[in-house]
Amino acid sequence: MDSEADDDIPELISAEPDEQSSSDKNPIAKRVPLTIICGFLGAGKSTLLRRILTERHGYRIAVIMNEFGDTADIEAKSITVDGESTTLELANGCLCCSIKDSGAAAIESLMRKQGAFDHILLEATGLADPGPIAGMFWHNEEYIDARSIGSENGIVLDGVVCVVDAVFGLKQMEEDHADKEDEGPGESLRQIAGSDVIILNKVDLVQSSILSATELAIKHVNPVAPVYRTVRAELNLGHILGIQAYSIGQRHLSALKDQHELQHDHDHDHDHDHDHDHEQGYNLSSSVVPHYVTRGISSLQVSLPPLSATQFAAFDAWIRTILWENRLLDSVDALTSTPDSQSKKSPLQGNINVLRCKGLLILTSGEQHVLQGVRNMYEIIPVDESMKSEFPHAGKVVLIGKGLGEDVRHSLLSAVG
């Protein structure tokens, strides 16, 4: 079971306009984007990284991994070994680095020695839950000393990518759940839940019925992450790098689109790379979704009406309570609640665990706000006037995690009702 419920309550991130998040002029553009790659054991993470490290894509990418594994056969221009790290410099300007501690300090030290990069990829081990790693880099720019990495403004979390094995993915999810039934959802489900993009790899080895079943299970756990079907992790790198999944960007927008809108997009904008982006057309309440997924992590999408200022404040109290206290806020509390006043605990305390949330809140005043959350951290950012027309016209919240039943929907709707 996740122990983060015991963690100190994090500070609420300001809902005031964030000068660093809404335009091309802003400093985020100058930060080095960081992508976390996670995935099931043997799913194809090294295959994907080897491609990135050896292909001529024109970017200087640093790949950081715990150990080289079979990526070690990469042809390196030079190899540097020093106590804590081994670095391979590749012909295309990329860098492959194995460091014992892949925390922020180690990344800072690597960047100081090697200079600035266009992108950093951090490989999590096969069993790693990406949530805490993402949390470490999200809104933690100060973690990294910007000047020391040769970049004006440090690092920005770009996205979390999960590689799922098409052959064993479904089985892994099933076994994982069975093994950990007493401890809550296992790593494979957490990896899917905490990712912004899913690569369903090794599709050459399975029948289409298995692929559809695996994709359905993935979508049930995480309906907002696009799924790309690949052979040997061959896909357009634009699908996984530079996606800005943690800011107000195009990807955030598409994640919030309605199912029918996605169907429409698919009809008219087929992916010419022949990646399979099957966001559309899933019946998420389908009874064919395997029981182990339903009993583990699932998702909940709630449509919201335009909110008054009071209802907006009530939403903030509601989301804060579910993320920080793992419980539902009583509707009566919602209009009066402040962070300090929430001492009353419902019997549901501890049964809900939200791993990721996203949303678009539309106010009756015409203002729009985007919700982004990783574990118990969240932010609500106003949408810039110039971007409003690109966003969906209906408010919506998507929660991914454990214990997200219809009671959660009713609680939210009554809190803002």
Ligand X SMILES: Nc1nc2c(ncn2[C@@H]2O[C@H](COP(=O)(O)OP(=O)(O)OP(=O)(O)O)[C@@H](O)[C@H]2O)c(=O)[nH]1
In the complex, the residues that contact ligand X under the rule CB under 6 A are 39, 41-47, 69-70, 126, 201-202, 204-205, 231-232
Task: State the amino acid at position 195 in one-letter form.
Answer: S
Among residues 69 and 132, whose Cβ is nearest to ligand X? 69
Give the tokens for residue 67: 């150990």
- Looking at beta carbons only, is 187 or 325 nearer to ligand X? 187
Which residues contact residue 57 at a Cβ distance below 8 angstroms, ignoring those fewer than 6 apart?
Answer: 92, 237
Provide the H-helix boundaries in 326-397: 331-334
Between CA 296 and CA 192 the distance in angstroms is 12
Residue 42, token pair as written in the block: 């043997």
Q: Nearest distance from residue 245's CB to ligand X, in Å?
A: 21
Residue whose CB is less far from ligand X, 65 or 415? 65
For the bound state, the minimum distance from the C-beta of residue 241 to ligand X, rounded and expressed in Å, comes to: 18
Distance CA 91, CA 279 (A): 37
In contact, 301 and 392? CB cutoff 8 Å:
no
Q: What is the smallest separation between the CB atom of 25 and ligand X, expressed in angstroms?
A: 39
The Cα 312–Cα 269 span in angstroms is 35
DSSP class per residue in 310-329: HHHHHHHHHHHHHHHHSSPP
Torsional sign, CA 340, 343, 348, 350: positive
Kindly state the smallest distance separating residue 234's Cβ from ligand X, in Å. Answer: 8
Instruction: Quote the least distance from Cβ 216 to ligand X, whole Å.
Output: 20
Judged by CB, which is closer to ligand X: 45, or 358?
45
Give the nearest distance from C-beta 185 to ligand X in angstroms. Answer: 19
Distances (CA, A) of 398 to 198, 223, 395, 408, 412: 17, 9, 10, 12, 12
For ligand X, the closer of residues 205 and 335 by Cβ is 205
Which CB atom, from 228 or from 315, has the smaller least distance to ligand X? 228
Q: What count of other Cβ atoms lies within 10 Å of the Cβ of residue 402?
A: 21
DSSP 240-295: TSS--TTSSSHHHHHHTS-HHHHHHHHHHS--TT------SS--TT-TTS-HHHHH
Q: CB nearer to ligand X: give 43 or 383.
A: 43
Nearer to ligand X, 204 or 385 (CB): 204
Residue 97 CB, nearest approach to ligand X (Å): 16
At 21, list the tokens: 């998040």
Residue 275 or 333 with smaller CB distance to ligand X? 275
CA 379 to chain centre: 14
Smallest gap, in angstroms, from Cβ of residue 45 to ligand X? Answer: 4
CB of 229 to ligand X, least distance (A): 10
Dist. CA 189–CA 197, nearest whole Å: 14
